[in-house]
Structure 1
Amino acid sequence: MPRPGRPSEPIDLNDSDRTELERLSRARKSAQGIATRAKAVLLSSEGLTDTAVSKQVALSHVSVGKWRKRFIEHGIEGLTDAPRGGPPRRISDDKVAEVLRLTLETTPKNATHWSTRSMAQRAGISNERVSVIWRTFGLQPHRSETFQLSTDPFFVEKVRDVVGLYTSPPANALVLSVDEKSQCQALERSQPILPLMPGVPARQTHDYFRHGTTTLFAALDIKTGQVMAQCRKRHTSKDFLAFLNKIDATVQAELYLHIIVDNYATHKTKAVRDWLVAHPRWHFHFIPTHSSWLNQVERFFAKITLDIIRRGSFSSLPQLRKAILEYIDENNQNPKPFNWTASPEEIFQKINQFCNKLS
């Protein structure tokens, strides 16, 4: 039986303190350290232990106890950092707050984001001081990331369907992740690629000659990791059906085929729908829109791009096709399936957390 810890001193909040703590905890454009401490105090006032609070905020249970004690002794002012030793500060709190406000709430003229120099000129301080402030508060205006949320009305149902095939594939059936990688370019560098040497990376010219493109159709067996592939000139509905016919002729007749596929228009034409009616052992499972991360063959496409296509130099289109198909044959000699671990609930929770950040 675990030994009970020392009981925490209770926190009794008045209306004024509670209102101020709630305001601080909701702050999105101020010091997030104080916002986290305010959340910890609010949770502690509900009777939660330090350990329970630490599981809900980004603090250890020791830190939760520290800020609980500081609040009891000094009130809301106790949630700020104590003064530290060293030479006197040259920049006031108001100036730091101004830099943060400008960084988070404004953009400079004729630019999409602040640089240390443009911010220094605007705030009237050195660019080194701006850099220190940004590092302290984790701000990186020069960086930008992309995101895309699915608006599919059947997002939940489709995620459960596809993840169910990954984690519990049906008996007497083959589950394939299918897609096409279009616009695979046969690029030939204008000069020979210089090999890797000690202290010097491999080098290639930035310019090249184009020798055409090909489309790689691939079907990844999610159980074994083997890949069925075909290179086609285009990626029309006719090309897609040709690839389906190749799969149909390869897979044993007694097996059902469950195909995980995206919402590309080529996959939903009347010709494809008629083909599915004529082949009743085939079942298409469409992933939600804007959710390519849910289709495992996309991970294989990323791998073949990194290993073969991106840094290759191909003097002709047949040479590119040969390199792609040889890579896939080599992969099928010792295939390694991708291990899907995320449950639908974990996926929904991450999306919910991201949406809460956006709001």
Structure 2
Amino acid sequence: MRWQATKTWKASTDSEFAQKMARILDLYDRSAAGQLDPGARVICVDEFGPLNLQPRPGRGWFPSGRPARLRATYHRYGGVRHMIAGLDLASGQLFYRLRDRKRWQEFLAFLHQLRRRFPSGRLHVVCDNFSPHRKAEVLAWCAGHDVELVFTPTHASWLNWIESEFTALRYFTLDGSDYPSHAAQEAAIAGYVRWANRHARPKKHFAPESKIRTRLPTERLPDEALA
């Protein structure tokens, strides 16, 4: 017997979990191997936030015996902001927009921006099952502009590669912070994203030795599968 940290894990109850996971991992692997159709891209999209103005716990360098104290936040009058971001697997770069809300209109506007950035080739957009992503207007626009929305299984956000990028973003810009304004917070986020993009590399090797790989078929799935 020994002391161990405990963790929680919420298993997916999606009846099509294996098929959806196989589709996403197949896209990841083909993107890494350069086997997508000419001009095609895999882009992982998700929302990050809400970003409110509050002191956030974290670790940092402080004088010995005098750790930083967090102020109380009984009232928060600064409102919130939402970040919509996309991770391009071919370059490893992040693209993002900060908005006051995260409705289907903001999501569709972000897709417009991705389509303008990559004007040719099919866009495979990996996203979760947030209701604005499934709005009829969004699906209709995607069908007419060669954009495929590839939905993760329910309770399986870890399959979206952008989640690991959000972990780094939170660590470097939010942990241990207490920004006085949204402008200051957004400037820190912008600075980190610029640095990360300068050092970005193509994304490869998603969970190469994970047990989830043993549940996948070895043959390539067609682009139309599970669309």
TM-score by shorter chain over 0.5: yes
- 1:238 counterpart = 2:127: no
TM-score, normalised by the number of residues in structure 1: 0.52
Moved over 6 A (4+): none
Match of 1:217 among 54, 72, 84: 84
1:146 corresponds in structure 2 to: 8
Higher relative contact order (CA 8 A, sep 6+): 2
1:316 corresponds in structure 2 to: 181
Q: Distance in 2 between the 1:294 and 1:242 partners?
A: 24
What SS is found at the alignment partner of 2:115?
helix
Relative to structure 1, is the Cα distance of residues 219 and 333 closer, same or farther in structure 2, using a 3 angstrom cutoff? same
Deviation at 1:337, TM superposition (A): 4.6
Q: Distance in 2 between the 1:343 and 1:301 partners?
A: 21
2:127 corresponds in structure 1 to: 261
Q: Which runs of 5+ in 2 are unaligned?
A: 216-227
Number of aligned positions between the proteins: 206
Deviation at 1:343, TM superposition (A): 5.4
Match of 1:186 among 47, 50, 53: 53
Q: Distance in 1 between the 2:121 and 2:107 partners?
A: 21
- 1:228 counterpart = 2:95: yes
Counterpart AA for 1:227: L
2:221 corresponds in structure 1 to: none
Q: Distance in 2 between the 1:241 and 1:287 partners?
A: 18
Deviation at 1:254, TM superposition (A): 2.1
Q: Distance in 2 between the 1:322 and 1:340 partners?
A: 31
- Higher helix share goes to which structure? 1
- 1:333 counterpart = 2:198: yes
What SS is found at the alignment partner of 2:15?
coil
Relative to structure 1, is the Cα distance of residues 344 and 239 closer, same or farther in structure 2, using a 3 angstrom cutoff? farther
Q: CA RMSD in A?
A: 2.6
Deviation at 1:302, TM superposition (A): 1.1
1:86 corresponds in structure 2 to: none
Match of 1:156 among 12, 18, 21: 18
Q: Which runs of 5+ in 1 are unaligned?
A: 1-136, 190-194, 351-359
Relative to structure 1, is the Cα distance of residues 198 and 322 closer, same or farther in structure 2, using a 3 angstrom cutoff? closer
Q: Deviations over 1:17-51 (max 9, x none)?
A: xxxxxxxxxxxxxxxxxxxxxxxxxxxxxxxxxxx
Relative to structure 1, is the Cα distance of residues 336 and 311 closer, same or farther in structure 2, using a 3 angstrom cutoff? farther
Q: Distance in 1 between the 2:29 and 2:66 partners?
A: 41
What SS is found at the alignment partner of 1:168?
helix
What SS is found at the alignment partner of 1:187?
coil
Q: Distance in 1 between the 2:164 and 2:66 partners?
A: 26
Counterpart AA for 1:312: S
Identity of aligned residues (%): 27
Counterpart AA for 1:277: A
